[in-house]
Amino acid sequence: MRVLITGASSGIGAALARAYAAQGAQVYLLARRAAALEAVRQSLPEPNRHQIFVADVTVAASLQQAAQACLSTGVPDIVIANAGVSVGTLTEYADDLQATEEVIQTNLLALIRTFQPFIQPMKARGGGTLVSIASVAGIRGLPGAGAYSAAKAAVIAYTESLRVELRGSGIEVVTLAPGYIRTPMTAHNPYPMPFMLDADEFARRAQREIARGTSYTVIPWQMGVVAKGLRLLPNWLYDRLFQHAGRKPRAHELAAYQTHAQAHTNSHTNNQANSGAAAHHDAP
């Protein structure tokens, strides 16, 4: 089995790569950071069976080139459009417009561009599976994350259109909406994240749903129940409940968190080095 995964250098994408490689699949890993992709590839069983594609999904030519390189070795059985970015955005600030465009480009338009080159080859072969990684954030508009919620809601609607268009062609379209998954993307969320799952556990559950050809599901299922409940809430109640909900950090806030986290890691490493040196001197 051949599986192409975008956003495979980190988090959910890397976990999906591990899950499929463990099943004996040949994995094509695509993302922008070559070193991170290579590290994931080296962590897989039989690293040389797997291939990396360094590409930016928001750059049409870059993605097209990677897709053609992938197709030149054969038509993948599964294409997982997982690459994504998440950042808080507030429309009142002009500074956030660029982040808004980046979120919609990466999470929505690039996902469509990811699937496009594979549809005719999959049709010609008579089968294949296209998987989109949406989000529960696409179920209702979350305050402070308008661009992210809009992009993910559009992904859910778009993949539904695609699924019906491709009915009878042999191509399955699977939409997975993760709840909270422990990855670098959620590391700086300053609010409670109920039913949080490890990325590897998410990947195992996702793999089962993809194998079944499930049209749409939320993982974990508990967040699916929450999402259904949220959908049923009347607007007046949803607005009242979510008005003061915790918000995703905006771009400059995220950058500050990252600088702080890096400083913390450096000081931790220095302390460890110093205490290691002390331990070494104290040793008999």
Positions that interact with ligand NAP (CB under 6 A): 6-13, 31-33, 36, 56-58, 82-86, 106-107, 133, 135, 178, 180-181, 183-186
132 contact partners, CB below 8 Å, separation of at least 6: 81, 111, 115, 155, 158, 159, 173, 174, 175, 176
Nearer to ligand NAP, 194 or 213 (CB): 194
Q: Min. distance of Cβ 220 from ligand NAP in angstroms?
A: 11
Nearer to ligand NAP, 57 or 75 (CB): 57
Which residue, chain included where needed, has tokens 């909900």?
A: 245
Reply yes or no on whether 148 is catalytic.
Answer: yes
- Among the listed residues 20, 28, 93, 148, the single catalytic one is 148
Q: Min. distance of Cβ 10 from ligand NAP in angstroms?
A: 3
265: number of Cβ within 10 Å:
10
For the chain, the distance separating the N- and C-terminal CA atoms, rounded to the nearest angstrom, is: 56
Nearer to ligand NAP, 58 or 207 (CB): 58
Q: Min. distance of Cβ 189 from ligand NAP in angstroms?
A: 8
Q: Please, are residues 85 and 99 in contact by the beta-carbon 8 Å criterion? A: no
Nearer to ligand NAP, 123 or 195 (CB): 195
Q: Min. distance of Cβ 281 from ligand NAP in angstroms?
A: 40
Q: List C-alpha distances in Å: 63 to 68, 119, 237.
A: 9, 15, 43
Nearer to ligand NAP, 36 or 230 (CB): 36
Q: What are phi and psi of 196, to 5 degrees?
A: -65, 140
Nearer to ligand NAP, 43 or 270 (CB): 43
Q: Min. distance of Cβ 54 from ligand NAP in angstroms?
A: 8
Determine the 3-state secondary structure of 32 from DSSP.
coil
Rounded CA gap, 271 and 1, in Å?
Answer: 46
Which residue, chain included where needed, has tokens 């049923």?
A: 232
Q: Min. distance of Cβ 55 from ligand NAP in angstroms?
A: 6
DSSP symbols for 110-170: HHHHHHHHHHHHHHHHT-EEEEEE--GGGTSPPTTBHHHHHHHHHHHHHHHHHHHHTTTTT
Locate all alpha helices (DSSP H) within the chain, ordered by sequence. Answer: 11-22, 34-43, 60-71, 97-104, 110-125, 146-165, 199-212, 221-232, 235-242, 251-282
Q: Which residues are identified as catalytic? A: 148
